[in-house]
Chains A and B, each alone.
Chain A
Amino acid sequence: MGKLILRVVLNACLSLFAAGNLTAQQTDDSVVVVVSSSQLIDALNVQQVEDIFLGRHYAFPDGSQAIPVDHPENSEVWLKFYQDILGHSAAQIRSHWARQVFTGRGRPPQKAASADELLQMMRDDIRIISYLKKTSLTADTKVVLE
């Protein structure tokens, strides 16, 4: 009986610890908007990022070309970017691109399969703008919007 109580208490402590860890991890997992560290741009506002990612205006404030790159649709980082940073639901984004595609106005951004692939693309092309978990940031990237 005593052993059982001990096990229950231990389990409870373990799960509390795990839950605490999870919270800490979620904070680290917050998503930020990034460009190549060679870019001259230091900061963008939400409207500017939205204009680039919704295809309204493929340019940075200095007029140079901006190429948005997405993560896979409905992935954790994709959802966080569109919901938490831009404030749009997945349905709104899908509807926006359906309107653009079926009226011949534009196509959704190209996609990177993973953070590693994205980082490689950013090293190759300074015009790329995307978003990453804070934990995935490298020296090649520069945060322009948190």
Chain B
Amino acid sequence: MVPNLQHTLTPTRPMIVLGALLASVISTSAWAQTSSFQFNGYGTLGAAWSDNGDANYIPDPLNPQGPGRENPWEPGVDTRFAGQLSANIKQKLTATAQVVVERQFDNDFKPVLEWANLKYQMTDQLFVRAGRTLLDTFLVSDHRKVGYTLPWVRPPAELYQLVAVTNSDGIDVNYQFNHNNRSYTLTANYGRNRMSELDGLIEAPNLWGIHSRMESGPLTIKAGYSSYKLVYGQVGSLWDAYRQFGAAGESVVERYRSRQRRSVFTSLAFEYNPGDWFAMAEWGRSDMQSDFGARAGWYVSSGIVLENLTPYVTVARANGGHSRVTGLDASAFSPALGETINTLNTRLLDIQDSLAPRQMTLSAGVRWELEPGISAKIQLDRVSATRQSSGTFNNLRFAREPGSTHVLSLTTDWVF
């Protein structure tokens, strides 16, 4: 999909209301004796290199620049800086705002409000948050940008790019209890994501999810189910074009459009971390509930702790979607329309391709703990797109043939 690069910084109305609300509670509470402020930050300085001169490697679909065809070295894939201010307004009421500066969808490095919410701790076991939160979709989703907390340079793209919606403006409820020395956490969220930074490329006017997490000593098991109403703004013009062809065009739209339907995501995650080694595995399936089909991703990763060094290996794979589309049959129309129909069908195939990259990555790397709070990593990936897919690449010289690619990434992460 060709994104519309006209960017608008206009915040949505709920964000303005929330911002004002946060500002007012923070400023009024500044006078109260009970309030306490805390400032924390994190960041990553990184560079990624690719040996592929025919395509750019794009591990995060919301960050459109990657190493490869244009620049073999690319610093903007993993580099980011973040600051967080939280305030205890009352004993049980906390306000949190986190701003992350990183490369955005329009190619600029600029700040975005990542978290902005009020949290009310109703009991020891139950809290409710209202405002902007990151979704708890995957095992490390809500802290995936805090590189220091990750064993790898970045979460495996094959799984983590399955869900483009990463945050929600709404409410979430978090219930945690202990039973037989096991800790259980249940969360439920409801909200929406206007993703104004994407300029209408995709919106989730409403979304909800339930997630459960069980922790028992070194073992964590997580299961989740989320449902998104997704609107692909850019696709609208394509549907309009198809409709010019009457009933046949309308039937293409009906089969592929997701406007009235919902995308459903299910996930299962496992982690075992006794301290001196770790093993992780995660699987997820996203069903667009249209002829674009379902896709699935998984990874398995393991590492061993040797003093300050933690070498690791990861295998990740993404499957699904289709390698062809059933658009309009040009033979049913006058030859003069053939070229137009071909263009529309090619565009439909491009969308299918970008929605469901099929790919496999083998990774090996080392995390080096320089001191508590600072780590450095080096990671080598071998990325292979499979079954006539463009994989997680853009700007391809040869469509759907990015070729096998080596990616080398160097990062240093910190938290304070």
Contacts and interface: CB of A to CB of B under 8 A. Distances in A.
Interface residue SS majority, chain B: strand
Contacts of B215: 56
A19 interface: no
A7 interface: no
Interface stretch (B176-184, B195-203, B257-265, B318-326): B176-184
Contact of A89 (B115, B181, B217, B275): B275
A143 to B, nearest CB: 21
B176 A56 contact: yes
A94 B305 CA distance: 16
Contacts of B129: 104
Contacts of B174: 105
Contacts of B267: none
Contacts of A47: 181, 217
A104 B183 contact: no
A99 B143 contact: yes
Contact of A102 (B146, B275, B369, B375): B146
B143 A92 contact: no
Contacts of B142: 103
Contacts of B415: 94, 98, 102
A56 B178 contact: yes
Interface in B293-322: 305, 308
A103 B119 CA distance: 11
Interface string A109-135: 000000000000000000000000000
B183 A95 contact: no
Interface string A86-99: 01111111110011
A11 interface: no
B219 interface: no
A112 to B, nearest CB: 17
Interface in A22-71: 47, 51, 56-59, 65
Contacts of B94: 104
Given A57-B183, A73-B372, A74-B372, A102 B124 contact: no
B286 interface: no
B86 A104 contact: yes
A104 B181 contact: no
B6 interface: no
B117 interface: yes
B233 interface: no
A101 interface: yes
Interface in B377-416: 415
B146 A98 contact: yes
B134 interface: yes
Contact of B146 (A58, A88, A99): A99
A92 B277 CA distance: 12
B40 interface: yes
A121 B115 CA distance: 34
A51 B181 CA distance: 9
Which are the 9 A-B pairs with shortest beta-carbon distances? Answer: A94-B372, A98-B415, A104-B96, A103-B142, A90-B372, A91-B369, A99-B143, A95-B149, A47-B181
Interface of A: 47, 51, 56-59, 65, 73-74, 87-95, 98-99, 101-105, 107
